[in-house]
Structure 1
């Protein structure tokens, strides 16, 4: 097992290294001056330009420039944004919690609803309830996320007026910044309107979370159903039935623990999918997250921001996927043996 962990960690380091090489190469692939693409500094005089060029080692070879780039990344010097001329790392730290908050709650909803519905659909796969669940899962899987989001906005925001259609919190409430996670910051805030602000934040969070959770929930339903049906045909399940155990006992003692082991891998897979879908969701609901910031940077041709945003999102997805793969092999004896 220790050899497996070492191999996985080596693979993680190698992939992150390759990602850093790609991010570095974007400074030359983007239009314009590579020095400006790396630093984000627009207007400088000749002396500042020479000092900046020496700092970024632009007059040396690509290897020296790459090593300087890695050194700046590790030190927290990610350059400036073209649009705001603010440090990129500070902007990413401020925006990333909003995206992680949305993705985390959507992933939690997909597990809370997807796993039980998948189990119910697998108990009697030919029953009316199982067919209804499978049909709803197929429908949710086929829905375009932008159309589904606009439909919910028209119904609950414009038509009924129950839920807000944009933002994380109303302008009536001012919450001090602590962690960047809105619900956590509200609970930590010492203000008189804490309960009202918490209810308002939950109302703002409901629609985008529901839209973002639709696709992974349907995937989880189908995945758990297929996994349960596969386990249900194994010999040890038939042996347990032959011993006189009823369906609930067989399901609880033997079926669930084996059928739900592959679900651990789905955490990484669904996380990467949710990061991608969160970009569209943040645009539609004006959610101030990293995805919306990255899309705006693409429109504004903010090349340093694009470079940093892709580096952060890709590193996050790769790390979570690798960690879930390691957890799956830790909890699965057959995977460890292989």
Structure 2
């Protein structure tokens, strides 16, 4: 197990190294002056240019420039945003918690809905109810996320008026930012309207979470169903049935433990998908997360922000996938043996 962890950590370091090299190269691949792309400064006079060239070592070899770039990244100096002229790292920490909050709730929702429905769909595959679950999963898998989001907005926001169509919190409530996670900040606040603000935050969270969780839920249903069907045909399941255990006992004692092991790895894969889908969801629901921030940066041709957003999102996705793979290997004896 220790050798496996060392190999995975080495692989993680190698991938992150390749990512940093690509991010550094974007400073030259983007249109415009590489010095402006690295610093984020829109206007640089001649005297300031010479100082910045020496500070950023742009008059040296590409290897020296890359080492200087990597040093600045590790020190937290990611440059300035073209649009706001504020440090990029500060802007990222302001918008990243909103995305993590939305994707976490969507992932939990897909897990607690997808796993039970997948198990039910595998109990009696030829039953009408089980076929209906598989059919709904196929329909949800095929739904375009932007169309599904607009449909829910038209129904629950415009027609019925039950839920807000965008944002994280109503304008009537002012909650101090402590962690960046809205529900946590509301619980930590001492305002007299805490309960009302918490309910309003939940109402703002329902639609984007439901839209974002639709795709991973359908994938989870199909994945758990196939895993259960595969486990259900194993010899140890047939032996347990022959001993006189009923269907629920076999499912609880033998089926679930083996069928849900691959789900751990699937959670990491679905988190990567959620980060991608969150960009579109955040734009539709005006959710102030890093996905919307990055898309706005693309429209504004804010090259330093695009570079920083690429690094932070890619690092997050790579790290989560690596952690889930390590957890899967830790809990799965066959994977450890392999």
Counterparts of residues 32-111 of structure 1 (less than 5 Å): 32-111=32-111
- Does residue 30 of structure 1 match 2:39? no
Aligned equivalent of 2:113: 113
The unaligned stretches of length 5 or more in structure 2 are none
Moved more, 205-214 or 48-57: 48-57
Aligned equivalent of 1:235: 235
Aligned equivalent of 1:198: 198
How high is the TM-score relative to the length of structure 1? Answer: 0.99
Rounded Cα–Cα distance in structure 2 between residues aligned with 1:46 and 1:121:
69
Rounded Cα–Cα distance in structure 2 between residues aligned with 1:16 and 1:127:
48
Shift of 1:45: 2.0
Aligned equivalent of 2:311: 311
Aligned equivalent of 1:297: 297
Structure 1 moving runs of 4+ over 4 Å = none
Shift of 1:50: 1.1
Rounded Cα–Cα distance in structure 2 between residues aligned with 1:229 and 1:222:
11
C-alpha offsets along residues 51-77 of structure 1, whole Å, 9 cap, x if unaligned?
A: 111111010010111001011001100
Rounded Cα–Cα distance in structure 2 between residues aligned with 1:49 and 1:204:
47
Q: How many residues in Structure 1 have an aligned counterpart in Structure 2?
A: 338
Rounded Cα–Cα distance in structure 1 between residues aligned with 2:206 and 2:53:
48
Rounded Cα–Cα distance in structure 1 between residues aligned with 2:267 and 2:141:
17
C-alpha offsets along residues 180-216 of structure 1, whole Å, 9 cap, x if unaligned?
A: 0000000001100000000000000000000000000
Rounded Cα–Cα distance in structure 1 between residues aligned with 2:52 and 2:94:
27
Rounded Cα–Cα distance in structure 2 between residues aligned with 1:109 and 1:233:
29
Shift of 1:158: 0.2
C-alpha offsets along residues 258-297 of structure 1, whole Å, 9 cap, x if unaligned?
A: 0000000011100000000000000000000000000010
Shift of 1:154: 0.2
- Does residue 273 of structure 1 match 2:273? yes
Aligned equivalent of 2:124: 124
CA RMSD of aligned residues (A): 0.5
Rounded Cα–Cα distance in structure 2 between residues aligned with 1:45 and 1:121:
67
Rounded Cα–Cα distance in structure 1 between residues aligned with 2:190 and 2:245:
55
Counterparts of residues 174-189 of structure 1 (less than 5 Å): 174-189=174-189
Counterparts of residues 240-259 of structure 1 (less than 5 Å): 240-259=240-259
Shift of 1:107: 0.1
How high is the TM-score relative to the length of structure 2? Answer: 0.99
Rounded Cα–Cα distance in structure 1 between residues aligned with 2:67 and 2:304:
18
